[in-house]
Structure 1
């Protein structure tokens, strides 16, 4: 994402026909003045979240939640318990229209898994099976290893790969670039006749900790077992192989895929005072992988989204539009819960003013990432000036996410929290994703940012232009 240096305000044109808020032209100067009038409210939100009675509340709520429930994999009993826990907590918080919307979600369990190097020495390799992986036979798969650094190298050495366990030791470039090896490593290895694949974890930093995540099979390619290994073990095997030394590994994976399970998106609202049918949506996902505690991914994002409604309610505010909290289910399986929510609610797409998602940690906030029209971006840039007291005023590009991209692709403005993610992928999808990663003061700031932006958008007289 790149920083947007300058936006020139232009006249905001009327919305599409039928929009009750488009009765006349509104100039950029009028919008500036309207937004400036929210200065006291913004300060009240910041003071309550960062310095006042709500200080550390989102952190403490999250800690209690993840310490009680633990990780929350799609289809698991833990996720069921998590949804019941949050449903009751939102009701106790006094939010409105708290309800559950049922969806069908994948149900995969990793079972017992291990990888043992037999040659050139006996060594236990740390692994985490990848989501939807098939199992090995009960006795495991014992085979020689082929180490490659890229798909290109794999296909150039296709004859060498047949009957082997392919180990990918791909360099980390960025998450977006490197995650293709986790997603497609098994497919590409299966194409050349490999019997299994082990993928170097997608992270720039490791303390011998593998990272799990989703992978995808193709219907016309043999399904082979696949798991991630640590950066250290991938590099070790690459060094051994570079010396011409034969590596043999026994891989055992007890993974099982069950029929889709029933789960729920969790919804709560503050109903709008003037245009209740119009929606400003704030969100994070409640599910996680089955390792660590799911505190960072995405407990933090889910709980600052809940906190936004709590802060607004505590201040006695009621915006003109409905502020809707959605805690998605089965995001880690590809936005499954969000897709079904979209299919159910897209008939009312014209009523969605903006969709907001926090799913890249709740570290020190730096601004807001936004996707939408230039006119809407100009309004958001002005709203961000209300956050000068905590020095979070920047607007960045690409404000989307797995759970809101369905709406953004159809033209609804989308926004995501832009925070310092320099350490995010150190812990991502690993045993290290625990409350120890979270910082209460950073969560306070993120909650303040999220609340000010969502409240002002929900309360302004005019909707965001599309």
Structure 2
């Protein structure tokens, strides 16, 4: 076992270097690089999608508008494209959210209504704000519940600091830094226990408050950075649920604690719409020699709607669009069909890509490779073989065709392990198709842009995105030219040391085709 492990580590080290051995100059590769650098359309695509259309929450008119925009854009480049329905979703559209403190003084607050939450009627909801108190147990919580009637209930902890950890590391004394870390840990643990003793979870607590007659739910899902909160969906169906940014949430919390009985007014103009069709946008450049074998470019099109979905996944979207545009111009007659999928409802469980895999077994069985990009604006920094035993034989060769300045910083892991989720490549891996996640450098993705109110155009690093478009176009070109179809032999997965059981390949899962309709 030890010898096998050592051999595996050596293979990883060698593969990382061999993948970067450069091949002789290729005129197609040179033309791809030239077009991407001298005639880039990335900024224009990002502006039209992110500034013009905005966030793309499944079930909203903006999502359908984006689908139609992408089809029109592809057709303007001479690429066949279509919207393919795979399900339907609860129809909803965000309106203006206005949150104001009206007592003990007047102040407009920074916050937003959560997704799929119904709008308020008339002049909105005005009520006193209270904090979820501590309970000895769930029985005590049930006895307290009638007290929420007509109140706005705060269900998030008050953060000890609004400064991110890196700011403390840079400026605080060591003693002060450790003290703050201890305070944050203690406060988080105490608040988690407070929630647990209600007998509810973060999902079921708002529902219980709604049933008890609360006027609304107020939360603050701080993301650990200056001015940044994560914005997801609401669990209440009749009363408003709003996320207020840390700075204003903390002020309200302190006013409640000091007995000032603050009141806020919430006006939310969201609209409930009829159920909306859910689409994947599909475009393809037909293969000339092997049209029924496929190289697939992959990125999810939908987003949450706290920001405009710029790095999750506007950047992946425009990378794939730009790669297709370049390929159509510089490699118009590929040997295999090059197909791009812009998937819907990835954020709710990879639904669009799972539906495509389920609906198109004839394509999936003939996939040469899937290249998926999802996690932010950074240049590609890591590629795993996803558990396909011979992945290096193909990816290593294809990567060697790309310029050194693009591939030199890419870490490769072969054969790697199969991805069970996280992004749309996993839908294909589960079906046994070779699909690879092109993982990016962070650029503070987790704190500042992933699912946040700050995921906007200005966070895009276009030099890195341009590098990714070049890489994807070259990988698609080389995969199309590859003489043989990708060898799908899988590695033998190890025994799980925690359970003692054999690890199994991820199972193919059915998509949710009717979402938010219960």
Tell me the TM-score normalised to structure 2 length.
0.68
The answer as to 2:409 corresponding to 1:389 is: no
Match for residue 94 of structure 1?
78
The answer as to 2:401 corresponding to 1:418 is: no
- Tell me how far 1:440 sits from its aligned partner: 2.4
- Tell me how far 1:267 sits from its aligned partner: 1.4
Secondary structure of 1:252 counterpart? strand
Measured at CA, do residues 187 and 247 of structure 1 come closer, stay the same or move farther in structure 2, by a change above 3 Å? farther
Contact residue 370 and residue 399 of structure 1 kept, 8 A: no
Match for residue 191 of structure 1?
208
Match for residue 214 of structure 1?
233
CA distance in 2, matches of 1:188, 1:235: 21
Match for residue 343 of structure 1?
358
Match for residue 459 of structure 1?
481
- Tell me how far 1:134 sits from its aligned partner: 3.1
Contact residue 296 and residue 370 of structure 2 kept, 8 A: yes
CA distance in 2, matches of 1:51, 1:362: 20
- Tell me how far 1:228 sits from its aligned partner: 1.7
- Tell me how far 1:273 sits from its aligned partner: 4.0
CA distance in 1, matches of 2:135, 2:66: 39
Q: Deviations over 1:131-174 (max 9, x none)?
A: 1223445454444434469999999866556514332435699x
- Find 2:328's aligned residue among 305, 313, 316: 313
Contact residue 308 and residue 451 of structure 1 kept, 8 A: yes
Secondary structure of 2:437 counterpart? strand
- Tell me how far 1:301 sits from its aligned partner: 1.0
The answer as to 2:220 corresponding to 1:200 is: yes
Measured at CA, do residues 359 and 330 of structure 1 come closer, stay the same or move farther in structure 2, by a change above 3 Å? same
CA distance in 1, matches of 2:101, 2:120: 16
- Tell me how far 1:428 sits from its aligned partner: 4.4
The answer as to 2:154 corresponding to 1:167 is: yes
Measured at CA, do residues 372 and 224 of structure 1 come closer, stay the same or move farther in structure 2, by a change above 3 Å? farther
Contact residue 323 and residue 458 of structure 1 kept, 8 A: yes
CA distance in 1, matches of 2:312, 2:248: 25
Secondary structure of 1:371 counterpart? coil
Q: Which runs of structure 1 show a deviation greater than 6 angstroms over 4 or more consecutive aligned residues?
A: 35-38, 149-156
CA distance in 2, matches of 1:214, 1:70: 17
Contact residue 32 and residue 327 of structure 2 kept, 8 A: no
- Tell me how far 1:205 sits from its aligned partner: 1.5
Alignment of 1:105-184 (within 5 A): 105-147=89-131, 159-160=143-144, 162-163=147-148, 164-170=151-157
CA distance in 1, matches of 2:478, 2:421: 20
The answer as to 2:23 corresponding to 1:39 is: yes
Secondary structure of 1:169 counterpart? coil
The alignment covers a number of residue pairs equal to 429
CA distance in 1, matches of 2:249, 2:60: 30
Report which stretch shifted further, 278-287 or 443-452: 278-287
Contact residue 185 and residue 197 of structure 1 kept, 8 A: no
Match for residue 277 of structure 1?
292
- Find 2:387's aligned residue among 369, 372, 375: 372
Tell me the TM-score normalised to structure 1 length.
0.75
Q: Deviations over 1:347-390 (max 9, x none)?
A: 64322344333222222332335533344367545644555332
Secondary structure of 1:272 counterpart? coil
- Tell me how far 1:261 sits from its aligned partner: 1.8
Q: CA RMSD in A?
A: 4.2
CA distance in 2, matches of 1:454, 1:389: 18
Contact residue 56 and residue 301 of structure 2 kept, 8 A: yes
The answer as to 2:221 corresponding to 1:234 is: no
Measured at CA, do residues 232 and 399 of structure 1 come closer, stay the same or move farther in structure 2, by a change above 3 Å? farther
Contact residue 36 and residue 466 of structure 2 kept, 8 A: no
CA distance in 1, matches of 2:100, 2:355: 41
- Tell me how far 1:445 sits from its aligned partner: 0.9
Which one has a bigger Cα radius of gyration? 2
Contact residue 147 and residue 237 of structure 1 kept, 8 A: no
Measured at CA, do residues 165 and 49 of structure 1 come closer, stay the same or move farther in structure 2, by a change above 3 Å? farther
Measured at CA, do residues 305 and 375 of structure 1 come closer, stay the same or move farther in structure 2, by a change above 3 Å? same
Report which stretch shifted further, 84-93 or 54-63: 54-63
CA distance in 2, matches of 1:135, 1:186: 20
The answer as to 2:455 corresponding to 1:440 is: no
Measured at CA, do residues 394 and 434 of structure 1 come closer, stay the same or move farther in structure 2, by a change above 3 Å? same
